[in-house]
Amino acid sequence: MPIGRPPAQLTRDIARWREDGWHEARDALAAEEPLEIRLAWQENGQPQRKSIAITMRTPGNDFELALGFLFGESIIRSADDVLDISYCPEEVDPQEFNIVIATLRPGLVFDLARLERNFFTTSSCGVCGKATLEALEIQGCDVLAGGFQVDASLLTRLPDELRQAQAVFEATGGLHAAALFTATGDLLDSKEDVGRHNALDKLIGAQLLAGRSDLSDAVLMLSGRASFELLQKALVARIPVVAAVGASSSLAIQLAEAFNITLAGFVRRSGFNVYTGRERIRA
């Protein structure tokens, strides 16, 4: 039987660093889980069903999310185009509440080919967090080695260093940024974009062009929160330490823990929270 819908908020024991040293604490986390959106419709009198997208989300209002997605992609024009929307009845613990099926009204015409070109699709029901992490292992992502370390005082300086590198943000106030630093705090490179994922892609892409595909001697600083997708990109690039100005989602922490990435959030001059990999940070 299903264990119930995933919560929107979780808690976790963390280590909090301040100028007087380490403190044990309990932190509230925004939950992050994949949501698979499926379509069901009739074609030439035959029932059809297809997975069209997977998105990371905070659980809750999943039907509204799916309808908004379908409307934004011009699959539907109104709620009347959807006969029924429900969680996946065939799946159990905990996938059922991570899969939404929208059944379209008969005769509705939509461009399925465009969806297939623009969005990641899958026939798998394994969209729970555990299955997502296992997929990374299947793709050949190994656990990161230990040994790399940084000073706690260095991490507290990185938000200011990142802000100084954000030329366009200073002018517009509307961009995310990602930057790479050495273990001694030297800026290797930084990139900006309206999308946090784009900023990191630009940063890693620049390193690839420079001949660096393994960034196991670098620290990644993010201007916003640390999500699963950002940690996934850091894992593929083999970045051992990820620090973020904002919070870390629950699935990002699960990924960091599974692959031995040091993950710090709420990084400020006064300190930061460490969710995983505390051993890489010298206090």
Instruction: Please state the pTM of the whole predicted model.
Output: 0.75
Q: Residues 174-214: pLDDT tens digits?
A: 578 899 999 999 999 998 888 788 889 889 989 998 888 88
Residue 33 near residue 57, CB atoms below 8 Å: yes
pLDDT at residue 238 in the model: 93
pLDDT at residue 121 in the model: 40
The C-alpha angle with vertex 245 and arms to 251 and 272, in degrees rounded to 5, equals: 85
Q: Is 141 a catalytic residue?
A: no
Q: Residues 114-158: pLDDT tens digits?
A: 666 555 444 333 454 555 556 666 467 789 999 999 999 999 999
In this model, does residue 10 exceed pLDDT 60? yes
Residue 221 near residue 158, CB atoms below 8 Å: yes
Average pLDDT for residues 250-255, to the nearest whole number? Answer: 92
Percentage above 70 pLDDT, the chain: 84
Q: Residues 264-277: pLDDT tens digits?
A: 999 999 999 999 99
In this model, does residue 171 exceed pLDDT 90? no
DSSP secondary structure of 15-69: EEEETTEEEEEEEEEE--EEEEEEEEEEETTEEEEEEEEEEEE-SS-HHHHHHHH
pLDDT at residue 173 in the model: 56
Catalytic residue of the set 88, 125, 128, 141? 125
- Cα separation, 249 vs 195, whole angstroms: 17
